[in-house]
Structure formats: C-alpha cells, structure tokens
Amino acid sequence: MRNFSHCLRGFAILIAGTTIAASAHAADLASDTAELVKRGEYLARASDCVACHTAAHGKPFAGGLPISSPVGTIYSTNITPSNEFGIGHYTEQQFSDALRHGIRADGANLYSAMPYTSYSVFTDDDVHALYEYFTFGVKPVDQPVPKTSLPFPLNIRASMKVWNFLFLNKDTFQPDPHHSVEWNRGKYLVQGAAHCSACHTPRGFLMQEETSLELAGGQVGAWYAPNITSDATSGIGSWSKEDLVDYLRFGRVRGKAQAAGSMGEAVEHSFQYMSTADLEAMATYVKSVPPIHDSTDDTSRFSDGATSSELAALRGRDGVKSANDAHPTGSELFQANCASCHSAQGQGSKDGYYPSLFDNSATGSRNANNLVATILNGVDRTTTAGQAYMPGFGGNPDDINALSDEDIALLGNYVLRHYGNAHATITVQKVAEVRKGGPSSSLVALARAGIGAAGAAMILLLAYVTVRSRKRRI
Ligand code: HEC
Ligand code: HEC
Ligand code: HEC
C-alpha cells in the first residue's frame, strides 16, 4: 500500500510537473506568437496595406475600395481572416505567393494595382510575421466586396504573366556587404514596405518602373512625386538626414516642402508610425541614391521666389471696374482666396503653420503640377504635430469657394510670377487635366486606337496606373 500511494503521489507530481511544463511552453508559444503578431502589425503599417484594403467608412482590411483606372474599376479584396469572404483559407505559402508574386490562392494572377512588385523583396521572416498578424491580429469581417470585372481583354488575368515575366524581380532582398547594416535596412524598407519608388520612380512605356532612374520623379494621378535623388539642384541633395526624417514623420520641413495628396496619406497612415531607427535608415539610403540631374533645372525648387505684394497697387484703385476689367486679376484672386492664410505678401504665418509661398517646392518647381493640385484639392494631413488643413478650391461650380480652370490658371501664374518659379507656367488645359485626376497613360491611347492583340496585352498593364491614382480613403 505504501508503495502504491507513493507511486500515486509520484504520478501526481509527474502530471503536475508536465502540466506546469506544458503551460510554460504554451505561454512561451503565446508570447512568441504575440511578438510575431506585433512585428507583423508594424510591417503592415509600414506597407500601408490598410490604405488600399479599406473602403471609405469601411472596416479595416475588409476591402471594397474602388481603385479607378482609365479602363474600369478594380476593387481591393477582403484580407481579413474571414473564411468565406477573406483570406482565412490562405496557407502561408499562398499568402506569400499573393504578396510577393501576385498569384491568388486559386492560381489566378492579381492585377498589379496590388504592389507585389515592391513586396517581392520581403524576407521569408517578414512574410511569416505578416501572415501571423493577418491570421491572429486582424478581426475577421464576413462581408463580400464588389467583384472586379474589367472589359475584355483586361478580364484575362493570365496576361499579367507576360508582364511579370518581363518585369517582376522574384529575388527577395539581398544585403550588400559593402554597405552598413543601417543602409541595408533602409534600402530594404524603401524598396519593399514603404515602396517609395512606386510613386517617385518614373515609369516606362509598359508602366514598369525605370530602375535606371530610381527616384527621379513620376506622376501619381493628380500629383507629381518629385525627384528625390541626391542631386543638389533637381533632387533633395540639399536636405539633411534630419530634414528627411522630419518630413516622413510630420509631413513638412519648414522653408522646403509639405506633404499633400498621396504623400500626405502615406505620412498619415504609414510613415509616422515607423520607428526613429527605421526612418533614419530610410533617410540614409535615400540620401545615397545616385543623383539624377534634369538639365532644365537651374535652381533648386526649395530656394525660389521672394516676398512680394501688389496690394499697394490694388489699394490704389478706386474699386470700380471698367467693363473690360470684369474678371478678377490674378492678384485679386490671390488676395481674396489665399492671403488670409498665406498673408498678403505670401510669407505665411510666423509660427510656420501657414507656409510661405516662396522657398516652397510646390511653387519653386519648374513643374507647377503640385501648385495646381494644391489649389484644387487642398491639404488635409494629421500627424502627432496636429492637423494641417487647407481647403480645396476645386469643388462643385455652385460651391462659393470653387474656382474655374481659368481662375486657377490666372491665380497660379500670379503665384508663380510673384513667389515661385518665374519660368513655370500653368495653362488652362493643365488645370483641366489635373482636375480630371492627372494625365492618362499612352497605353490608353493605344487601346483606343485598337491596335490589336499587342495593344490589348499592353492595356492589361493599365492596372498599373491604378497604383498611381489611389483614391482618398476619407
Ligand atoms: C496600392 C494598393 C494596395 C496595397 C498598398 C496593398 N494591396 Fe493587396 N491588393 C490590392 C488590390 C487592388 C488587390 C486585388 C487585385 C486584383 O483583384 O487583381 C489586392 C489583393 C491582395 C491579396 C489577394 C486577396 C484575395 O482576395 O485573394 C492579398 C493577400 C493582399 N492583397 C494582401 C496585401 C497585404 C498583406 C498588403 C500590405 C503588405 C497589401 N495587400 C497592400 C491593392 C493593394
Ligand atoms: C503613394 C505615392 C508616394 C509614396 C509611396 C511616396 N511618396 Fe513621396 N511624394 C509623393 C507625392 C505626390 C509628393 C508631392 C507632395 C506635395 O507636393 O504635396 C511627394 C513628396 C515627397 C518629398 C518632398 C519633395 C518635394 O520636393 O517637395 C519627399 C522628400 C518624399 N516624397 C520622400 C518619399 C520617401 C522617402 C518615400 C518612401 C519612404 C516616399 N516619398 C513615398 C508620393 C509618394
Ligand atoms: C484656410 C487657410 C488657407 C487658405 C485660404 C489657403 N491655404 Fe494654402 N495652405 C494652408 C495650409 C495649412 C497648408 C499646409 C501646410 C502643411 O502642409 O503643413 C497650405 C499649403 C499650401 C501650399 C503647399 C502645398 C504642398 O503640397 O506643398 C501651397 C502651394 C498653397 N498652400 C497655396 C495656396 C493658394 C494658392 C491659396 C489660394 C487659392 C491657398 N493656399 C489658400 C492654408 C491655407
């Protein structure tokens, strides 16, 4: 008996011991998973998955955001772990194939509106962390999204295979031993998660990124993502590393630039959440990108213009207009619509909340696209530094603030002549184009001309245009 009870006790201790060990193991596993989920969440933020995969006023990641392209609307999909409507049934391999190679679980190709060409550099570890996050860290939303149905031949997803064959680099990131760990981390983030080049690198005829012109500037829908190579005149060679870190975190650098449009969104939804170490790493890499000089730039866009005012001349008038003076002048339009914030002489407010209109990349650039886009769409960006808000003047014609294309050209040219780059001009056609959402691609022209199969295959690539015309979420 003694022996038996001894045995029993021993058994109990054994069981208790195993349970303790097992729960310790479970706790380890749980904290490993929690750690991975956290890392996945950080990467998802840095990659801005939510920007495209959330509809206006919709649940995060439940998809349904319409992304317009000249040939039809592509809807982002539900990437919550819902089994029926989302990616709950995706294995890690299938998730990795979608993310890095643009292949859906059913084997069909994704349109490149999903930026898998940038995400292809993701390491296996990072894909794993993202998978854990989208499996355990995101709430399933059982809700369908509208189906994307582009017209023939764009509905043949397999044609993306041709494009992938030509342009998709399937290699994950390979560190360069000649550079520091920080530089390599920066390059990995800039090319992958933060995909700066998706907007800042010009695109070729087939909408592929021109890798030899890395970060030399590109049109992104209504906005122009400027040259951010290290060239001192055409690029941001004059910026310090701290300037760039501040810009990515707050969306502005006084006396240089502000972030509106898709850059404002990227700062608000993504970059401001990145760690200081990661922002510094990205700045280190960006500052090392070889300079690309545009020979039409003779001065830096950050150093153009000076304080100026025609107010005195205006005041000198008696206020009665002659018949052929019925239309307001550029100066009058400026005083009526802009001076209240940017001040009568364009120098902005003392605290810098309202920026000066000289020493400002939006007015100092030879390409006045972003001045037009700002007047039409305004600025709305919230970071830890608060909200930067300027109303847009492009509204409906019955909106009292709305300005016509003619008014904006007149006003814009006044701003350029007085505060900005005197060599730049804004035509009424340019304003109309930006109002429409930016220039359309040469591929559209090809497609319209109906040049047959080759043209048709190319139109498929138009999906790419969509990356550049991300709709606002709000
Ligand atoms: C610039 C917009 C954009 C961003 C950013 C983006 N996606 Fe997508 N994604 C899309 C679109 C659009 C589709 C659907 C494309 C199609 O139908 O061919 C898609 C499809 C997918 C799919 C396939 C889903 C399915 O229904 O089978 C997955 C998985 C996915 N995205 C995950 C992600 C993750 C994870 C991130 C962030 C790391 C991300 N996406 C960032 C636009 C985007
Ligand atoms: C979704 C498109 C998009 C992405 C992604 C993007 N940018 Fe931008 N960027 C823009 C646009 C558009 C502007 C012009 C904004 C304005 O003038 O208000 C801009 C402006 C800038 C400027 C200011 C240049 C100037 O002359 O005013 C810098 C610097 C910059 N971006 C750096 C980056 C870096 C670094 C990354 C990646 C970490 C990045 N951007 C990612 C679209 C983008
Ligand atoms: C109600 C105040 C207000 C009015 C009116 C206003 N602005 Fe602004 N403007 C701002 C603010 C705020 C910013 C953004 C500052 C920031 O990004 O931190 C801004 C930014 C700008 C920029 C830089 C945008 C960029 O992306 O780099 C330009 C150019 C500009 N305004 C021109 C104008 C012109 C021209 C008018 C008249 C049509 C005008 N503003 C009217 C408040 C205003």
> What pLDDT score was predicted for residue 438?
86
Mean pLDDT of 130-135: 98
Instruction: Give the residue with greater pLDDT, 385 vs 308.
Output: 385
pLDDT above 70: residue 468: no
Take atom 14 of ligand 1 and give the residue whose Cα is closest.
Answer: 76
Instruction: Give the residue with greater pLDDT, 149 vs 62.
Output: 62
> What pLDDT score was predicted for residue 305?
66
Range scoring the smallest mean pLDDT among 215-224, 297-306, 445-454: 445-454
pLDDT above 90: residue 457: no
Mean pLDDT of 409-425: 94
Looking up tokens 């050209």 gives 409
For residue 153, cis peptide bond before it (omega within 30 degrees of 0)? yes
267 Cα: distance to centroid of ligand 2 (angstroms): 9
30 burial via Cβ count (<10 Å: 0-12, 13-18, 19+):
exposed
In 248-308 the beta strands, taken as DSSP E runs, fall at 252-253, 257-258
Give residue 441's pLDDT band: very low, low, confident or very high (50, 70, 90).
low
pTM of the model: 0.88
> What pLDDT score was predicted for residue 61?
97
264 burial via Cβ count (<10 Å: 0-12, 13-18, 19+):
buried
129 Cα: distance to centroid of ligand 2 (angstroms): 27
> What pLDDT score was predicted for residue 64?
96
Q: Is the CB of 187 under 6 A from ligand 3?
A: no
With a CB cutoff of 8 Å and minimum separation 6, the contacts of 415 are 330, 334, 338, 346, 357, 363, 371
Percent of the chain at pLDDT > 70 equals 81
Q: Which of 45, 76, 96, 195 to mutate to test the pocket of ligand 1 (most atoms within 8 A of CB)?
A: 76
258 Cα: distance to centroid of ligand 3 (angstroms): 9
pLDDT above 60: residue 389: yes
- CATH architecture label of 311-435: Orthogonal Bundle (1.10)
Q: Is the CB of 373 under 6 A from ligand 2?
A: no
Domain ranges of the chain: 32-174+441-474, 311-435
Q: What is the pLDDT of residues 252-305, one digit of tens each?
A: 999 999 999 999 999 999 999 999 999 999 999 999 999 999 998 888 999 876
How many angstroms separate the CA atoms of 439 and 444, rounded?
10
Q: Is the CB of 471 under 6 A from ligand 2?
A: no
Q: Is the CB of 262 under 6 A from ligand 3?
A: no
Q: What is the pLDDT of residues 12-33, one digit of tens each?
A: 444 444 444 555 566 676 888 9
Looking up tokens 């999906």 gives 463
Distances (CA, A) of 246 to 239, 251, 256, 282: 11, 7, 12, 12
Q: Is the CB of 221 under 6 A from ligand 2?
A: no
pLDDT above 50: residue 36: yes
Mean pLDDT value across the chain: 85
Q: Which ligand is nearest to the CA of 104?
A: 1
Q: Which of 254, 357, 374, 381 to mutate to test the pocket of ligand 3 (most atoms within 8 A of CB)?
A: 374
